[in-house]
Amino acid sequence: MTSFAFILGCVPLWTATGSGAVSRRVMGTVVIGGMLASSAISIFIIPALFYVVERFGTAKHLQPRIPGTEQQPES
């Protein structure tokens, strides 16, 4: 929510007119684009990476072996 409020607060930079408007537009474009990119990364990519790492971390072959808990083969 705060990042979207920040993005909306930077919209006047993006729509600037008058003297120095070109530099304000460039700065507004960069700030808004960066905040949109970082928000997308933190909302979609980080949770997906966490899920993938968690799945690999809990795979059976990566579980730590506790001495004395091995199954004995039946004969």
**Tens place of pLDDT per residue across the chain (75 aa):** 899 999 999 999 889 898 989 999 999 999 999 999 999 999 999 999 999 888 887 765 555 667 666 666 665
Q: pLDDT at position 53, please?
A: 87
Task: Answer yes or no: is 72 within a domain.
Answer: no
Residue with tokens 């949109």: 36
**Domain carrying residue 32:** 2-57
Cα-Cα-Cα-Cα torsion 24, 30, 34, 40, nearest 10 degrees, comes to 100
Task: Answer yes or no: is 51 within a domain.
Answer: yes
Task: Answer yes or no: is 71 within a domain.
Answer: no
Task: Answer yes or no: is 31 within a domain.
Answer: yes
Phi-psi region of 64 (alpha: psi -120 to 50; beta: other; left: phi over 0): beta
Q: pLDDT at position 57, please?
A: 73
**How many domains is the chain partitioned into structurally?**
1
